[in-house]
Structure 1
Amino acid sequence: MEGKLLKEVIKLSSKIGTELMSILGKQYFTTEKINDIPALCQNNPKNVTILVIRETISPFIDRSDVPDESIWFRMPDGRNVIQVPARKFKSKEKIFGIKLLRLLGMVDSGYRYNHLTSRQQFRNPTSILMGETIVNPVKGEDTLSVPARALYTDVYSLRDREYITRKLTNNALNEERTMYDKDKGKTSSAFFQTEEVNPGTFFPALITIKDPTPELLLHMILSLQQTSYGASSATMGANFRNHIVGIVGSIIEPPVSSYLISYRFGQTVEKPTDVSTLTFEYVKKTLIDIETEMLTDGASILTGDKVNDLVNYIKSLKLQGDEIKEAYEVARKDIDEYIDFSFELKKNKRSGRKNNPNTPSSGSDKPGNIQTGTS
């Protein structure tokens, strides 16, 4: 009873948010203001993990500093699998999320990717999900950062790279001077090789959102409609399709990663007769089976028709319809409260230390860190 008296609870959710909570379980979301602490500032032990199979539908270039070789990793069983760093997916989905917000009028017109100058520019769902930093503050602004809530990991293929890649020869010159230089009377030799991941390759992936509101989950799912990844994506167009095959709610996040899926495939999972070809259904079953096996106490998983119905419901919503607008207005209010509360807390602590120079600073109040929870 005493605990109830200490809490002043203000509920806040949209129609779409209420629907998502009814399907996944409201215990995995934070939508309430408690003791005047905004929902996004509470740092509760709640997680929502999206299980995704990323399918290549066109050649995908996954390179680092070696132009003619994909990034690969040798697994304990000897397979050389393709490894795709998390940033190659996260950066594209962050940009796509900002584009959606521009369509909805939900992001500051001065926002520039990775070049923020004021707090106003990260008052949007993408910045709160993906993390953001004011790198070049204008006069009157501090250098602030918002930690990411959507956590990605590197993804790994199940098959050895010998089955899923090929090398192509390209010409570095433009079309006019492709083969023959008439002025010099010589044939060009400005060729180079690139290694591409073939269409029809499946990468199991997991994205976990920490202490989410349902509206942030909505924005994350919409951001997964991005289709172009990797090097040369500006010229290659769509090369991926993201399939959401499960959603997990948890208090303690299950210890599952794309690496673990690939590792278990090589160690204990019963393989198909011909490992050079893997079907979508096989990869889907492998991912869901391992995730289900590793569920922690209090966790639940949504799969099959139920997750398909949820994804189809979100896809059926009109991007500029009233329901989407309502959900994003709720998200905007949550984010405004989060930024205002965190910045004021930070400013007050700084002011307190200025008035009392003997007051030690805490690790959670380092300059540049926005407060994201209470102790």
Structure 2
Amino acid sequence: MTLETPETGLVESFDIYRKRKPSVTLIVHREIVEPTLFRNSNHDRAETQEFGDKLHAQVNGEKFTSKERLTGLDLLRRLDDDLENDLVHEEYAYNEPTDLDESLNVGTLTYGLAGTGEQDFAIKSRVVEGYTYTTEEYDLMNKETRNAVYESGTMRTDENEQSEALFDFVKVQPGNSLVHFITLEAATPEMLLYVLHNVLNTGKYGARETRTGRNVRNNVIGLVLGDHDTSLSTGELLMEYHDSDADLNESIGAYVDDVRRSDWEVYGEIDGGESFPSWFGRLHSVAAREAEDADEVLRDEFRSLTESAQAVFDEG
């Protein structure tokens, strides 16, 4: 790793078996900037959870992970410009793995993979993204209703019949947000760089996201490093430490301080956190692709991790 990284929270190199489990938790504030539909079992709205006397939209972390994994895969393919497929095999397709060799890349090493082809193989995920919830109320009465439009550009058929097809969606509205705790367990520095890149460079989430522009703005507002588990819960935060009148950073700070362990290092904009260290500032600028040498550094770091992991699997 050419970038400076902390001594706490990460492992130095990739290994199949996790003898140590240090962890890093990114505290991500996901700000809704356009109406966004998060749906699970209900096709027209999000699942919900009630905290106190208010209803909040509940979102499975996989809804974010899947979009961010695709962002990362696109980056690997764009960086892999030497035509030797050093970063991602030309036959690899997301969620369609064939064999281990073709499926081995930074994305699968970081987020995990289960073989679905003739080979029986699996790579355990280093990333844990639990459920998250809107910080403000989710209004089920605020429905967006649309009519089906025909090729004519109107709601009438060629026979001049009126369309009766209606679509109701209950979206999370701008002004609302979600706090998401993303934990990397026994991850290498390159994996942290990769996850950070994917979070900072993904802006379209939810159902029907192909029909909208950027709808979520992600900001990393805190960082927790530990020799052991640093997992945090958005549900616990909202149930016990936050209400609509409170400052969100103060609430997160109070929560982290209350559950903090002796081995934790806490940084960021939250109350009680130290300023982000210089190593994280550099990591952030590369991950956000703001640094002039970002592509070069990303390519070198991801190639290094891929090659070292390949050597480990070959030995195994």
TM range (shorter): 0.7 to 0.9
Equivalent-residue separation in structure 2 for 1:97 and 1:321 (angstroms): 13
Could you tell me which runs of 5 or more consecutive residues in structure 1 were left unpaired when the two chains were aligned.
Answer: 1-13, 33-37, 273-277, 345-375
Kept in 2, the 8 Å contact 1:157–1:204? The answer is yes
Aligned to 1:248: 224
> How far did residue 40 of structure 1 move?
4.9
1:289 and 2:276 aligned: no
Aligned to 2:233: 257
Equivalent-residue separation in structure 2 for 1:271 and 1:241 (angstroms): 20
Matched residue of 1:220: which SS?
helix
Equivalent-residue separation in structure 2 for 1:241 and 1:323 (angstroms): 24
Q: Which residues in structure 2 correspond to 1:1-375 (within 5 Å)?
A: 14-16=1-3, 19=4, 21=5, 25-32=6-13, 39-75=15-51, 77-105=52-80, 106-137=87-118, 142-162=119-139, 166-176=142-152, 178-183=154-159, 185-224=160-199, 225-265=201-241, 269=242, 271-272=244-245, 282-304=247-269, 305-306=275-276, 309-310=281-282, 311-312=284-285, 314-315=287-288, 316-318=290-292, 321-341=295-315, 344=316
Structure (1 or 2) with the larger CA radius of gyration: 1
Aligned to 1:352: none
> How many pairs align?
300
Equivalent-residue separation in structure 2 for 1:61 and 1:165 (angstroms): 14
> How far did residue 86 of structure 1 move?
1.1
Matched residue of 2:58: which SS?
strand
Amino acid at match of 1:116: P
Kept in 2, the 8 Å contact 1:96–1:223? The answer is yes
Matched residue of 1:88: which SS?
helix
Equivalent-residue separation in structure 2 for 1:244 and 1:300 (angstroms): 16
Equivalent-residue separation in structure 1 for 2:141 and 2:154 (angstroms): 26
Amino acid at match of 1:168: E
> How far did residue 210 of structure 1 move?
0.8
How high is the TM-score relative to the length of structure 2?
0.87
Pick the structure with more helix per residue.
1
Kept in 1, the 8 Å contact 2:148–2:163? The answer is no
Amino acid at match of 1:238: R
Matched residue of 1:83: which SS?
strand
Amino acid at match of 2:104: R
Show CA shifts across 1:16-70 (max 9, x none): 1xx1x2xxx31322215xxxxx545334121011110111111110112333332
Equivalent-residue separation in structure 1 for 2:43 and 2:148 (angstroms): 12
> How far did residue 157 of structure 1 move?
1.5
Could you tell me which runs of 5 or more consecutive residues in structure 2 were left unpaired when the two chains were aligned.
Answer: 81-86, 270-274
> How far did residue 218 of structure 1 move?
0.4
Kept in 2, the 8 Å contact 1:40–1:338? The answer is yes
Aligned to 1:367: none
Equivalent-residue separation in structure 2 for 1:120 and 1:318 (angstroms): 32
Equivalent-residue separation in structure 1 for 2:313 and 2:250 (angstroms): 41
Kept in 2, the 8 Å contact 1:53–1:284? The answer is no
Equivalent-residue separation in structure 2 for 1:237 and 1:194 (angstroms): 17
**Inter-CA distance 109–285: structure 2 relative to 1 (3 Å threshold):** farther
Amino acid at match of 2:276: K
Amino acid at match of 1:129: T
Kept in 1, the 8 Å contact 2:152–2:158? The answer is no
> In angstroms, what is the RMSD of aligned CA positions?
2.3
